[in-house]
Amino acid sequence: MSTEMNEPVPRPGILDIAAYVPGKEHAPGVARVYKLSSNETPLGPSPKALEAFRNAASQLERYPDGQAMELREAIAATYGLNAANILCGNGSDELLGLLCHTYLGAGDEAIITEHGFLVYKIQIKAAGATPVTVKEQDARVDVDAILAAVTPKTKMVFIANPGNPTGTYVPVTEIRRLQAALPGHVILVLDAAYAEYVKRNDYEAGVELVSGSRNVVMTRTFSKVHGLAALRIGWVYAPAAIIDALNRVRGPFNLNAPAIAAGAAAIRDQAFMANAVAFNAEWIEKLTHAFEGLGLKVTPSVTNFVLIHFPDVDGKRAADADEFLTQRGYILRAVRAYGFQNSLRMSVGPEEANTGVIEALREFLA
C-alpha cells in the first residue's frame, strides 16, 4: 500500500543535524550586562572602518562589487598574497559551507576533531557527507589520530588552529606532517579565525602551506580582532583550482558594500589591530593567573578567550558558576556541546568586566 506525501520533506540527513546555538546574550533583570560569550573584541572596530562603513551607506541603492576587489586587494597587500587566490564571503561560515557543498557528497567522509567548531559537522551533514570525529589529546588536536581515521572515503579534514573553545594550537611542524601524509585529493581546511592573536614562533596560520600545495585552504575572519562581527566578513586563501570551483557556486553578491569598504579599511589599519592584540595579550595572562590563583584549572590559550574548568563539587560546578555570574551581569559560554561538561569559556572583555568576573568567581568559590 503506497503512502501519499502531503507536505514537503527535507532530504535524508537534514533533520538529523543539531542546529547551531549561539551563546546567550541576556541576563534578565540585570541592568548592566557584559557579554563575554562570543569572543568579540572589547575594543570594537577601527575608527577608519567605521568611517568607511558610513561612507558606503550613502549608496545603498547600488549592488556591491561582486568580486569584492577592494577588500581582496587590501588583504593581498597586507599579507603579500595574490588577490586571485582570495575569495571573500559572508563570514567564514559561508566559505566553510561552500567548501563542503563543492567537494563533499553522499558516501564521502570528512574528519573533524573532538572539540572542533560545531559548524564543521553541520556543513558536512548538510552536504550529505559523513563527519568522522577523532579524539584530541588534552584539548589539543592529535595529528596521528587524524591520520589513523583517513579512509578511501575521506575527502576533507577540518582543523581550527587555534582551536575554539580550547584556545590551543597545532605547531606548524605538525600541520606540515599532516599535509604531507594526506592523499593529494583530500582537502586540509585550516580555520585560522584567531591567528592574529597568536604570538608563538612555531605557529603559522597556513599561508605558506597553501602557497606550496594544491590541497590546503586557509579561512580567516574579520569578526574577531578586527571587530566587524556584525558585518559577517570572511575570506579564504586557496589554490587557484579551488577558488575557481568555489566561485562557480557562490552567490554573485555574497558580501555587501558596507562590509567590503569597512573590511578593507580595517585590515589596512594595522596600528589599531596591534593595539587590540596587545590589550588581549595583557588580559589573557592576567585572567589565567587570576583564575588559577582561585584554584581553577585553565587551558593555556593563545586566543582572545580562556577555557575555565570547575571542580566536580556540589554547588561549585560550571552550571552553578554560570548561573551565579549571569545574575551579576557576566555572560560566559557554556561549552557542553563541545565536549566540556564542567567548563565555561570566557572572552577577554573590557577591563571592568574582566576584573568583575575575577571578583565574582572569588565570591562564588569562597
Q: How far apart are CA 110 and CA 44, in angstroms?
A: 35
Q: What is the pLDDT of residue 315?
A: 96
**Given CA atoms 42, 340, 318, 292 in this order, what sign does their dihedral have?**
negative
Q: What is the pLDDT of residue 27?
A: 74
Domain 47-268 has CATH 3.30.300.30: no
pLDDT tens series, the chain, 366 aa: 455 678 888 888 888 888 777 777 777 777 799 999 999 999 999 999 999 999 999 999 999 999 999 999 999 999 999 999 999 999 999 999 999 999 999 999 999 999 999 999 999 999 999 999 999 999 999 999 999 999 999 999 999 999 999 999 999 999 999 999 999 999 999 999 999 999 999 999 999 999 999 999 999 999 999 999 999 999 999 999 999 999 999 999 999 999 999 999 999 999 999 999 999 999 999 999 999 999 999 999 999 999 999 999 999 999 999 999 999 999 999 999 999 999 999 999 999 999 999 999 999 999
Q: What is the pLDDT of residue 235?
A: 98
Q: Is the CB of residue 187 less than 8 Å from the CB of residue 157? A: yes
Q: How far apart are CA 95 and CA 101, in angstroms?
A: 10
**Domain residue extents for the chain:** 24-44+271-365, 47-268
Domain 24-44+271-365 has CATH 3.40.640.10: no
Q: How far apart are CA 353 and CA 33, in angstroms?
A: 9
Q: How far apart are CA 317 and CA 326, in angstroms?
A: 14
Record the cell numbers describing residue 128, joined without a space: 550529505
Q: How far apart are CA 225 and CA 26, in angstroms?
A: 23
Global pTM value? 0.93
Could you tell me if residue 31 is left (phi over 0), alpha (psi between -120 and 50 degrees) or otherwise beta? alpha
Q: Is the CB of residue 237 less than 8 Å from the CB of residue 217? A: yes
**Given CA atoms 307, 279, 289, 190 in this order, what sign does their dihedral have?**
positive
Q: What is the DSSP string of 232-285?
A: -EEEEE--HHHHHHHHHHS-TT-S-HHHHHHHHHHHH-HHHHHHHHHHHHHHHH
